[in-house]
Structures are given as structure tokens and as C-alpha cells.
């Protein structure tokens, strides 16, 4: 299940689908995705599919994790501090943590956050700060991120997330209700102008307000 061959097969599939950033492929190839799932599902960890993590939430499909991560890295200049909205299992968090110096991640379901924290600890990942909060409001302190990645879909982009982009900061976020579009937003320098680019149709869980 965790053999190199199984993981290589997943990486080949991602390459076939157009993922090309070598660092992203390497990190995904080296990260034990099965540790982010309940045991009953861990045999499916290296399939390119979204999988349930409880509480009605899902661990995103590896292709989507790869695509969002490579988009964030490719569009940003320097990427020191990244905010993730929707920690979930902690899988996407762990991928980011291997690629950028500081990862901050917000989750509104406490038991998911607790499990994610334990997994990150077991993997020896130390450059992640986790917060139990409604990520619609980003992370108001420090409130300056070079990159923000949301793994839950709002109907429209929350103003707080735009406000918390550093100069030239980059936001990657699925937007919409039934039909969702993965969207890239870049802050133009230190202005309040934001350039928006629609990437592809996607299916994410909704960004919900309040705590659960
Ligand atoms: N990145 C996760 C994906 C989990 S699914 C992973 O790799 O496993 C999206 C997550 O977003 C869910 O855990 C859900 O609870 C969370 N979420 C939804 N709305 C949120 C909000 N307003 N604030 C913080 N987290 C939210």
C-alpha cells in the first residue's frame, strides 16, 4: 500500500494530468498520505481521489492538492508565510510545510484539528501554527500572508482574505456554490487592486461560518 511503486504510480498520474513543479511532485511522492486517513481507508490513500475524513469533510484529491500548491508557488514571488483555510486532515498543511518556511492553518471543527495536530507532530513538522477559528476572517494577527490557500469553497471571496494578502500576495481558492471555479487572485504590489484568474472547475466542501 505504501510501496515506492504505488507512490510512483500516483506521481506519474499527476504528471500525466499536467502537474510539472518538481518540488511539489517530490514532496507529494515522499509524504505518507495514508497517515492522514482512518485505517479502514488507508489502502486507498494513493489513489487520485478525494476521501472522507469524518464530520462530512474530505481529504482533497492529490491532483487538486498538487495543482493548488504549484499554482501558489508559481504565482508568488517570495513565499515566507502561507495561510491555509481548512486544515482538515492536515495533509495539504504538511505538503505546504515542506515547501515554505511558515504555515498557519485555521480549522472550524475541533476534532479534525486535534487529529491533524497529532499527525503533524508524528511527522516531525514544526513550522505550522494551527488555530481553531472561522477562517472566513483569515488569521487577523499577523494578518499579512504572502500566500493564502483555501481548501473550502465560499460563494464569494471573503474580503478579510484579500485584506490579509501582503504586497504581491497570492490567493488560491475555490469559489461558488454548486458549480465552483478554482480561482487565483494576485494583489498588485501594495495597492488594493486584485487580478483574478479562473483556473478550472472543481468540487470542494463549502466554507461554513462559525465554529462547529
Ligand atoms: N486541507 C484539507 C481539506 C479538508 S476539507 C486536507 O488536506 O485534508 C476542508 C476543510 O475546511 C474541512 O475540514 C472544513 O471543516 C474546513 N472549513 C470549512 N469552513 C471553514 C471555515 N470557515 N474556517 C475554517 N475551516 C473551515
pLDDT of residue 1: 57
Ligand 1 centroid to Cα of residue 75, in Å, is 23
Report the atom number in ligand 1 closest to the C-alpha of 58.
Answer: 5
In angstroms, rounded to a whole number, what is the distance separating the alpha carbons of residues 29 and 163?
34
State whether the beta carbon of 35 lies less than 6 angstroms from ligand 1: no
- CATH no., domain 58-202: 3.40.50.150
Name the residue at shortest CA distance from atom 11 of ligand 1: 86
Mean pLDDT, to the nearest integer, of 110-132?
A: 98
pLDDT of residue 17: 97
Ligand 1 centroid to Cα of residue 25, in Å, is 23
Q: Which regions of 1-159 does DSSP assign to beta strands (E)? A: 51-54, 57-59, 81-85, 102-107, 128-132, 145-150
In angstroms, rounded to a whole number, what is the distance separating the alpha carbons of residues 33 and 60?
11
Mean pLDDT of all residues in the chain? 96
State whether the beta carbon of 125 lies less than 6 angstroms from ligand 1: no
Ligand 1 centroid to Cα of residue 90, in Å, is 10
Backbone angles phi, psi at 88, to 5 degrees: 55, -125
pLDDT of residue 166: 97
In angstroms, rounded to a whole number, what is the distance separating the alpha carbons of residues 3 and 113?
28
- Nine-digit cell string for 72: 501558489
How is the beta sheet containing 180-187 ordered, strand by strand?
Answer: 128-132, 102-107, 81-85, 145-150, 165-175, 180-187, 194-202
| pLDDT tens-digit readout, 12-24 | 999 999 999 999 9
Name the residue at shortest CA distance from atom 18 of ligand 1: 207
Ligand 1 centroid to Cα of residue 53, in Å, is 11
| pLDDT tens-digit readout, 57-105 | 999 999 999 999 999 999 998 999 999 999 999 999 999 999 999 999 9
In angstroms, rounded to a whole number, what is the distance separating the alpha carbons of residues 74 and 51?
27
pLDDT of residue 186: 98
Residue 187 has pLDDT above 70, yes or no: yes
Provide the pLDDT confidence category of residue 3 given band limits of 50, 70 and 90: confident
Mean pLDDT, to the nearest integer, of 109-126?
A: 98
pTM of the model: 0.97
Mean pLDDT, to the nearest integer, of 1-26?
A: 92
Name the residue at shortest CA distance from atom 16 of ligand 1: 86
Whether 95 and 35 have beta carbons less than 8 Å apart is answered as no
Amino acid at each position: 500500500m505504501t510501496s515506492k511503486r504505488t507512490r510512483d504510480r500516483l506521481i506519474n498520474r499527476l504528471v500525466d494530468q499536467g502537474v510539472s513543479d518538481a518540488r511539489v511532485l517530490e514532496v507529494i511522492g515522499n509524504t505518507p498520505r495514508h497517515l492522514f486517513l482512518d485505517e479502514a481507508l488507508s489502502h486507498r490513500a494513493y489513489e487520485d481521489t478525494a476521501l472522507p475524513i469524518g464530520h462530512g469533510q474530505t481529504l482533497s484529491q492529490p491532483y487538486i492538492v498538487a495543482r493548488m500548491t504549484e499554482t501558489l508557488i508559481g504565482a508568488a514571488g517570495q513565499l515566507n508565510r502561507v495561510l491555509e483555510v481548512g486544515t482538515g486532515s492536515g495533509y495539504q498543511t504538511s505538503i505546504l510545510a515542506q515547501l515554505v518556511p511558515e504555515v498557519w492553518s485555521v480549522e472550524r471543527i475541533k476534532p479534525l484539528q486535534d487529529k491533524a495536530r497529532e499527525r503533524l507532530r508524528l511527522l516531525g513538522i514544526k513550522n505550522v501554527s494551527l488555530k481553531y477559528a472561522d477562517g472566513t476572517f483569515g488569521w487577523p494577527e499577523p494578518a499579512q500572508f504572502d500566500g493564502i490557500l483555501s481548501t473550502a469553497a465560499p460563494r464569494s471571496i471573503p474580503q478579510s482574505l484579500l485584506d490579509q494578502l501582503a504586497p504581491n500576495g497570492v490567493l488560491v481558492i475555490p469559489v461558488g456554490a454548486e458549480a465552483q471555479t478554482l480561482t487565483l487572485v494576485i494583489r498588485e504590489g501594495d495597492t488594493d487592486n486584485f487580478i483574478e484568474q479562473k483556473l478550472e472547475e472543481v468540487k470542494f466542501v463549502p466554507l461554513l461560518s462559525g465554529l462547529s
